[in-house]
């Protein structure tokens, strides 16, 4: 049975490839999804994007029953969404926070993540490769969590 991983994208990531390509590159979310499916053929990947905080929260809550882990690029919600943080904290599956750009090399307000303390880790600054690293981190985490027989 395939491991199911949810890849969630927050506000403005629907514009990936168009918005600030000097920071985020020219790849679209469809490009990212295609690459991830080729790199992880044995993983059941579900990729979603929403500009609505509540929709992201609903998907996180649903994932607790259907997925083994979540890779989350919350965009700007990373820096102030306590509701998103509470949703992550309320579920019992690992979440990896990812960012395309290095948030610590950008504006001061981007240097703080309210989500990081409730995620198993954070990957930032590797372009769209951050998603691949995020999936690998989830799979590695799940592998280590397997009970010893």
Active site residue 99: yes
Taking CA atoms, 78 is separated from 28, 40, 115, in Å, by 20, 26, 6
Average pLDDT value over all residues in the chain: 93
Q: Above 90 in pLDDT, residue 66?
A: yes
Single out the catalytic residue among 79, 80, 82, 99.
99
Buried b or exposed e, range 74-107, using 16+ CB within 10 angstroms: bbebbbebeebbebbeebebbbbbbbbbebeeee
Q: What is the pLDDT of residue 1?
A: 64
Least confident span in 4-13, 42-51, 97-106, 135-144 = 97-106
Top pLDDT among 46 and 108 is at 46
Q: Which CATH number fits domain 3-107+121-145: 3.40.190.10, 1.10.3450.40, 3.40.50.9100, 3.40.630.10?
A: 3.40.50.9100
pLDDT, one tens digit per residue, over 19-46 is 877 778 789 999 999 999 999 999 999 9
Instruction: Give 101 or 115, the one with higher predicted confidence.
Output: 115
* Signed CA dihedral, 133, 122, 78, 86: sign only: positive
Residue 24 annotated among the catalytic residues of the structure: yes
Give Cβ neighbours of residue 78 (< 8 Å, ≥ 6 apart). Answer: 10, 97, 99, 103, 110, 113, 114, 115
- 148 has a pLDDT exceeding 60: no
Distances (CA, A) of 149 to 46, 68, 99, 146: 30, 20, 37, 9
The structure's pTM equals 0.92
């Amino acid at each position: 049975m395939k491991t199911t991983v949810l890849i969630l994208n927050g506000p403005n990531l629907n514009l990936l490839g168009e918005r600030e390509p000097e920071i985020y590159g020219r790849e679209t979310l469809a490009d990212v999804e295609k690459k991830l499916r080729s790199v992880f053929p044995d993983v059941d990947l579900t990729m979603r994007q929403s500009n609505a905080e509540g929709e992201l929260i609903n998907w996180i809550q649903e994932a607790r029953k259907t997925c083994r882990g979540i890779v989350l690029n919350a965009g700007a919600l990373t820096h102030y969404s306590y509701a998103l943080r509470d949703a992550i904290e309320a579920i019992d599956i690992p979440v990896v926070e990812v960012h395309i750009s290095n948030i610590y090399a950008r504006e001061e307000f981007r240097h703080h993540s309210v989500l990081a303390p409730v995620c198993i880790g954070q990957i930032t600054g590797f372009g769209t490769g951050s998603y691949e690293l995020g999936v690998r981190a989830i799979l590695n985490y799940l592998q280590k969590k397997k009970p010893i027989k």
